[in-house]
A and B are shown apart, each in its own frame.
Chain A
Amino acid sequence: MTSDSMNLTPEQRAALDTVEKAATTPDVEQPWAALGMKADEYEAVRKILERRPTGSELAMYSVMWSEHCSYKSSKVHLRQFGEKTTEAMKEHLLVGIGENAGVVDIGQGWAVTFKVESHNHPSYVEPYQGAATGVGGIVRDIISMGARPVAVMDPLRFGALDHPDTHRVLPGIVAGVGGYGNCLGLPNIGGEVSFDPCYQGNPLVNALAVGTLRHEDIHLANARGNGNLVVLFGARTGGDGIGGASILASDTFTEGGPTKRPAVQVGDPFAEKVLIECCLDLFKADVVQGIQDLGAAGLSCAFSELASNGDGGMLVHLDRAPLRDSTLAPEEILMSESQERMMAVVTPEDLPGFLEITNRWDVEATVMGEVTDTGRLVVLWHGETIVDVPPRSVAHDGPVYERPYSRPEWLDARQADTPDRLPKPQTDDELKSLVVTMAGTPNLASRAWITNQYDKYVQGNTAQAMPDDAGVLRVDEESGLGVAIATDCNQRFAALDPYTGAQLALAEAYRNVGVAGGKPLAVTDCLNFGSPEDPAVMWQFAEAVRGLADGCQTLGIPVTGGNVSLYNQTGSTAIHPTPVVGVLGVLDDVARRTPSGWKSAGAQLFLLGTTRAEFAGSEWAWSQHEHLGGLPPQVDLAAEQALATVMVQASSDELVVAAHDLSDGGLAQALVESSLRHGVGATVSLEAACERDGVDAFTLLFAESAARAVVAVKPEAAQQFTEACQAQGVPVVALGSTGGETVAVEGRFELTLDELRVAHERTLPEALNA
């Protein structure tokens, strides 16, 4: 017995499940099932350890082998992201998949790290804190790469706008995203908000964060160097979110059944802000060897991943962890998901310098133990050994499932039910009123009610934010070097065909970045799906991953990281497959970005791309006819590339004054949004485009064909611009010109900006202020 264990009362010592005890009591019943483990997984643990696990070991394995942490169902498919990344695609990649976040070289010695993650289930249980800690978690991922977080974005999805559950969760989620981000002083530069009944009872809260760093500042999560110290710093550990990773994030909400309400986490953004600055000072002083943020699975994850990625051994004294609640058992401390914590590996020589910095920031730091060369992760509790495991077996060698998947039988019927049978507007008057109606549907209406709750411009580096197509941030104040980021996904397209739907999400985000003037470089994704135990869902997942990986390969931009969120369903009903894709691009000078709104009269309008009668999954079919069927618009990634090439060059050459990609709601919606942005109207003629593409006016206005944009060009540059389009093989046709206080479609109808504005802006306030 060591002197340490004297701190335990005889009762506590008797209750403590030690390795020694586990070796002699193989038959003790253990709550593996309640912790979310399957019988064969528990057996696998016993086999690895050649004895039964202790309670603390069981806690670690159960959280680390949960779907959320181990990717056990998705791993076999996600490999494609690595396998389909060619050497050429890695040109700008400084850190690829597998680390806390990918890092991309944007030139001039600058790098950018970005990643999107989900916080869906916690946000359903407690909307404000769930969304807030979602932002907090992804921001810590960015810090742990050595970067300064500079912006966030939030792709959100809710049930129908008029559904009570939407009213329960939306205000809290939006306030949580805004509250946490605003307190950190991070601009929220974009994202999406989409309403669909499939998200009733299962809203999606995805959070993306971006950070900037110099190439030499990259830090990684590994524990190297025998004798180096393992330091836990930041907030104290409390009883929040215990088992969140295994129980909360990996289980389905059963309708009518008992609601699982484990303690959710409450975030403290001001503590995180201090942590950001403290970490950046630590990096600057060069006193950190390896660093890891604490998120899902808390200390279990940090210990095992750091050890596993490093020299393979670690000895920690768990009783040294500063606690908010002194009654916590070691199992609970290992599983706690208390926010605003980080773990660093520090050399003994650097420790005084490290502690001087944490003291200066009033951040509590505790040496928990040290890196060893034993190949074992050993955790002591008052001197008694409660964990003794090979760290890789916890962090990386978890179960891998080849889950059965099969194309759902109902898909044929859905794909056969094309929108051809839907009644279309016949007269110009009907077209006119449809433009107004569509401008105000829940999915097309102004998002200002939501985005106005976010600070978009704090820190002064936001060149462009919502409602523009892509968020644009300045990275280097001298040169103007910056990045453009967009996130997109039309879940209806993915519901019709997950392979194509995922590619369309990629194509749209890519297009948004390109149209804003950014040269696309890298991809992050947040794959939100139903239960992997349902073969139909698993098929959707497999198809979406394959589509995305193939698409990235064709476009030549790698996936650098992301997140998978499964079990998004209520009862047996899964959400539509929702592969949210974020694309990051680089601009040499953000002053030469292309905004989406028309600022003045006299610009010439061109329509780029080809319009086809593609209405399946469109906003028109859904909002006007509640129809979802057919095959989604065709994907032409070569056309997307050509379009982006033209737009990046035209932006850089300052030929264009504005450009808007065409997606949800088609051309009509783009005209409405571009004109309302600054109150400058336009006169357009549809005839030339209709004739060239062989479509009617309705199709030209509302179809959602991909690879299109409407571009406002300086009159003197019109010829140069059209020649540039032709050189790249991008179909281009003149539409008209900007100016006036109406959107006039020649020979058909004219709408005042006032009536469009009322229709576009009233929907969300009317629904949500009630």
Chain B
Amino acid sequence: MGRVVIDVMPKPEILDPQGKAVVGALARLGFKEFAGARQGKRFELEVEGEVDQAVLDRARQAAETLLSNPVIEDVVAVRAASDQE
């Protein structure tokens, strides 16, 4: 069983209200060393068998058409999960 991990982030120029709320809360709770925060999402897709390039290509296709909203989000990573994950 293989696993593909996909990371989706709001586009850099787009407002990220969740990230803004997080960075505000960090400071309030004493984590003053963090100047900014952006919050995205991570998907894990399971496949029968190995994760090869063809699977990664299909996963990217899925990521760009279904898992992300291309108007406001970027797919920043599509990769095979390592054994430790």
Residues of A within 8 A of B (CB): 125-126, 129, 235, 238-240, 242, 261, 263-268, 270-271, 324-325, 338-339, 362
B residues 13-35 in Cβ contact with A at 8 Å: 13-17, 20-21, 24
Contact assessment for A266 and B10 in the assembled complex, using a CB-CB cutoff below 8 Å? yes
Contact assessment for B72 and A339 in the assembled complex, using a CB-CB cutoff below 8 Å? no
Q: A238-B15, A240-B15 are in contact. Are A268 and B20 (CB under 8 A)?
A: yes
Against A, the Cβ 8 Å flags (1 = close, 0 = not) of B37-65 are 00000000000000000000000000000
Contact assessment for A261 and B15 in the assembled complex, using a CB-CB cutoff below 8 Å? no
A242 to chain B: closest residue by CB: B13
Distance between Cα atoms of A268 and B23 in the complex (Å): 15
Determine chain A's interface SS by DSSP, over half rule.
Answer: loop
Residues of B within 8 A of A (CB): 10-17, 20-21, 24, 69-72
On chain A, the residues within 8 Å of B21 by CB distance are 270
The smallest beta-carbon distance between A180 and chain B, in angstroms, is 11
- Selected A-B contacts with CB under 8 Å, 7 pairs: A238-B13, A240-B14, A261-B71, A263-B13, A264-B72, A266-B10, A270-B21
Contact assessment for A264 and B71 in the assembled complex, using a CB-CB cutoff below 8 Å? yes
Contact assessment for B71 and A325 in the assembled complex, using a CB-CB cutoff below 8 Å? no
B16 to chain A: closest residue by CB: A266
Contact assessment for B11 and A263 in the assembled complex, using a CB-CB cutoff below 8 Å? yes
Contact assessment for B15 and A266 in the assembled complex, using a CB-CB cutoff below 8 Å? yes
Contact assessment for A265 and B71 in the assembled complex, using a CB-CB cutoff below 8 Å? no
The smallest beta-carbon distance between A602 and chain B, in angstroms, is 53
Most interface-central of B17, B20, B24, B70 (chain A CB within 10 A): B17
Say which residue of A126, A242, A270, A338 sits within 8 Å of B15 (CB atoms): A338
Say which residue of B11, B13, B15, B72 sits within 8 Å of A268 (CB atoms): B15
On chain A, the residues within 8 Å of B13 by CB distance are 238-240, 242, 263, 325
A265 to chain B: closest residue by CB: B15
On chain B, the residues within 8 Å of A240 by CB distance are 13-15
Q: A126-B69, A261-B71 are in contact. Are A270 and B14 (CB under 8 A)?
A: no
Knowing that A266-B15, A325-B12 are A-B contacts, what are 9 other residue pairs whose CB atoms are under 8 Å apart, sorted by A's residue number? A126-B71, A238-B13, A242-B13, A263-B72, A266-B10, A266-B16, A268-B20, A339-B15, A362-B24
A133 to chain B: closest residue by CB: B15
Most interface-central of B10, B14, B20, B24 (chain A CB within 10 A): B14
Distance between Cα atoms of A338 and B20 in the complex (Å): 14
A172 to chain B: closest residue by CB: B69
Contact assessment for A238 and B14 in the assembled complex, using a CB-CB cutoff below 8 Å? yes
Q: A266-B10, A268-B20 are in contact. Are A324 and B71 (CB under 8 A)?
A: no
The smallest beta-carbon distance between A267 and chain B, in angstroms, is 8
On chain B, the residues within 8 Å of A129 by CB distance are 71-72
On chain B, the residues within 8 Å of A261 by CB distance are 70-71
The smallest beta-carbon distance between B34 and chain A, in angstroms, is 16
On chain B, the residues within 8 Å of A271 by CB distance are 17, 20
Distance between Cα atoms of A129 and B16 in the complex (Å): 12
On chain B, the residues within 8 Å of A268 by CB distance are 15, 17, 20
Say which residue of A126, A239, A242, A266 sits within 8 Å of B17 (CB atoms): A266
B10 to chain A: closest residue by CB: A266
The smallest beta-carbon distance between B58 and chain A, in angstroms, is 23
On chain B, the residues within 8 Å of A266 by CB distance are 10, 14-17, 72
The smallest beta-carbon distance between B19 and chain A, in angstroms, is 10
Say which residue of B14, B16, B20, B69 sits within 8 Å of A263 (CB atoms): B14
